Copies of this chain bind each other. A is one copy, B any other.
Amino acid sequence: MIHEAPASTPRTRPATQRKRKEILDAAIDIFGNKGYANGTLADIADQVDITHAGVLHHFGSKQNLLLETLAYRDESDVADLDDQHIPDGPELFLHLVRTAVVNSRRAGIVQVYTVLSAESVTDDHPARPFFESRYSTLRGEVADAFRVLCHQEGITEPATINAASASILAVMDGLQLQWLLHPQDIDLAEASEFAIRAIVNAVLRPGPELSAYSRG
């Protein structure tokens, strides 16, 4: 077995890397605004003043471009983070609220995820594995945060942790969709904070069942 030469391939031409990023940014824009199925390589190519064949030269296929686009977005998100990893414990919940605040200033990014994650459930969609693993990972991280929090508050871990973890990601996604449809009516940051707080508190102190409100 041979060591893979790490920097051997002179693919690292500075202008090339720059162009690739340009294309990836354009892809985020187009896939966000038109979807993967409906956005075209020519749309993307136009934005960076090359032809669609030029895009294919860099990324090989449309499908591969999509995958690299998703990976690219993720790594720039991580890069934004101070210390390379998402906070754990109760800090995570505050981090999620901050994320919502940040997101309300970048509709483009929000739209790619909203459109592509939903599109990914369609037949044989190339982005499906990406979103499957993304949600699995995120749910795991949120669940861990809940466990830490319960321990900290001296509460035995309730059975609701899994439902709550999924629910937190769910509200965030669902609010984003409504916000994209009605930017005026929905305050993404405020609503996200309210909902996350509601769910976190419900894990720690369940409160009455819904049926309690229906009979006097």
Asked whether B174 lies within 8 Å of A193 as measured between CB atoms, the reply is no
Quick one: which of B90, B160, B185, B210 contacts A213, CB cutoff 8 A?
B90
Q: Which A1-58 residues have C-beta < 8 A from chain B? A: 33-35, 37-38
Quick one: which of B90, B175, B197 contacts A207, CB cutoff 8 A?
B197
Asked whether B119 lies within 8 Å of A194 as measured between CB atoms, the reply is no
1/0 per residue A99-133: CB within 8 Å of B? 00000000000010011011111110000100110
Closest to A131 in B: B181
Q: Which A187-216 residues have C-beta < 8 A from chain B? A: 187, 190-191, 193-202, 205-211, 213-214
Interface size on A, residues (CB 8 A): 71
1/0 per residue A49-77: CB within 8 Å of B? 00000000000000000000000000000
Asked whether B163 lies within 8 Å of A187 as measured between CB atoms, the reply is yes
In the bound complex, what is the Cα–Cα distance between A160 and B121 (angstroms)?
A: 33
Asked whether B193 lies within 8 Å of A210 as measured between CB atoms, the reply is yes
Given contacts A118-B119, A194-B167, contact A35 B37 (CB under 8 A): yes
Asked whether B190 lies within 8 Å of A90 as measured between CB atoms, the reply is no
- List B contacts of A149 (CB < 8 A): 213
Given contacts A94-B211, A185-B136, A213-B152, contact A172 B174 (CB under 8 A): yes
CB distance from A7 to the nearest CB of B (A): 37
- List B contacts of A132 (CB < 8 A): 181-182
Closest to A31 in B: B122
